[in-house]
Structure 1
């Protein structure tokens, strides 16, 4: 009986993530070091910036696709640039940088996830040598939608 209730609870949590049709978007997240912000994708200009890493999203519990690139400008400010990105809508979606897909040693980049092309500033305290996975994470239900490894 206990096993059946656990399975039903997990199934309801996954269905809740799937049935949400409007992404929850709130004010930009803050980290202890700085405020991060979503930038207008049409305003991002890679001219004069160095491409540090890139990766391709792979689906986890939900279909997720697209590419992500990390650029650094002359002032050492880094930006995550999402291209042709697509994932399912869900409640409480976040973008994390983590050491693996299991959310080890993660840092939250933002609590806004947008389909299409977009960019977001990377917090200065992110260590991309170690935190080289970009995760699309449903915080409310602890569900990984998809991930890209930065190489």
Structure 2
């Protein structure tokens, strides 16, 4: 029970983000204009689906984005996360719609890993070969007590 009062802050890089080298300065030449979103020449991640986290068993908020990476893979980005801590929190992609995620453990789901922070920004790679179109929501799931802390619909971009 004491974990409900603990907080872990995460500040992970966004998918496809390349951190600047230490001591880097601004270049004298202007950067090239970015490619239009969705265009074949766009070099960065492309948004596939997104949604806002809503509370289930515990107060939860934040923004979830599912992105296609230039290498053909996918990743989930959670930003501005705010939720309670728990004994065994997991991040799941669920085939269940947001209205049905309270029993997400009984449906088809894919675990992306343990929740690595209760505040901040997190990035989870989606296993290669996963058909992301089969998932309707992202759920922060407490495996120990079989309860959802929060969830977000994955609405196509």
* Deviation digits for residues 85-111 of structure 1 (CA, Å, limit 9, x no counterpart): 111000000001111112210110011
Matches within 5 A, 1:23-102: 40-41=12-13, 44-45=16-17, 48-100=44-96, 101=101, 102=103
- Using the size of structure 1 for normalisation, the TM-score is 0.70
Alignment length (residue pairs): 121
Matched, 1:112 2:84: no
Could you say what secondary structure the match of 2:134 adopts?
A: coil
Which 5+ residue runs of structure 2 have no aligned equivalent?
A: 19-42
Greater Rg over alpha carbons, structure: 2
TM-score (normalizing by structure 2) = 0.68
